[in-house]
Amino acid sequence: MARHFLELAYLGTNFHGWQRQPNGVSVQQVLEEGLSTLLQQEVAVTGAGRTDAGVHARYMVAHFDWDRPFMSMQKLVQKLNRFLPRDIVVYSASEVPPDAHSRFDAVARRYEYHASTVKDPFSQLLATRLRFSVHVQRMNEAAALLPQCSDFTSFSKLGGNNKTNICKVQEAYWEERGTLLVFHIEADRFLRNMVRALVGTLLDVGRGKLRVEDFAAIITACDRGAAGTSAPAEGLYLVDVRYPEAVFKRSVS
């Protein structure tokens, strides 16, 4: 049985997240249906993560197994994209070691959160509109505390059933891009709803509802009720998933 990694991207607006859902169409479902139709056999796909409803992925990795010869990888990608809707694109397909796993072998994941400081009809589904001004330096002072922490219970969705709430954040900061504010965060793993909860709480720091000291206390409280409201889904993007080179190396920019 040969294992293959797919590199893909999707606009999450019209999907109920990555994972198959009983009450809505997911990216995983559409991808599996496209592969199964193309290869004329049921195919299961495993993703590197489970983005929530409305969340986007500029870069996602997923794997599937296939035990028969098929066309070249390039033709597979070309034909698969014809089956997929316009808000999902597959960039590449590569054979990898048979024990490679798109989720469990990932050593780092990177997200961005986009927030617009002005009303913009062209980005309203791609960035959250801020209706208040924020102090970016204070938000960065608070974000700088995150790589020093390990327990992110305060930013985990209640009832998320995580085996552990321990994460190692390598980097977290805000960047100003004209009228757009972008939050960057990289970690070995993320809890469900973690980035949106962090963004919502950091925005409370930026607007003066919380001090940096309050943000530090929220982290150590290990209590989701102490943190701020989760930011809306439309501003969140998965932008990178990294693996040991022996497993897989990203091939698209």
Domains of the chain: 2-104 (3.30.70.580), 108-239 (3.30.70.660)
- Model pLDDT, residue 253: 82
Between CA 174 and CA 141 the distance in angstroms is 10
Between CA 189 and CA 135 the distance in angstroms is 28
- Model pLDDT, residue 124: 86
Which tens digits make up the pLDDT trace of 170-179?
Answer: 999 999 999 9
Which tens digits make up the pLDDT trace of 2-50?
Answer: 999 999 999 999 999 999 998 899 999 999 999 999 999 999 999 999 9
Which tens digits make up the pLDDT trace of 92-150?
Answer: 999 999 999 999 999 999 999 999 999 999 888 899 999 999 999 999 999 999 999 99
Alpha-helical runs (H) found in the chain: 27-39, 73-83, 136-143, 194-206, 212-221
Between CA 187 and CA 171 the distance in angstroms is 7
| 52 in catalytic set | yes
* Cα 224 from chain centroid (whole Å): 20
DSSP labels, 155-185 = GS-TT---S--B--EEEEEEEEETTEEEEEE
pTM of the model as a whole: 0.95
Which tens digits make up the pLDDT trace of 142-171?
Answer: 999 999 999 999 999 876 667 899 999 999
Mean pLDDT of the chain: 95
- pLDDT exceeds 90 at position 54: yes
- Model pLDDT, residue 162: 73
Which tens digits make up the pLDDT trace of 224-237?
Answer: 999 999 999 999 99
Structure tokens at 152: 């992110």
- Model pLDDT, residue 159: 64
Structure tokens at 135: 């102090």
Q: Average pLDDT in the 37-66 region?
A: 95
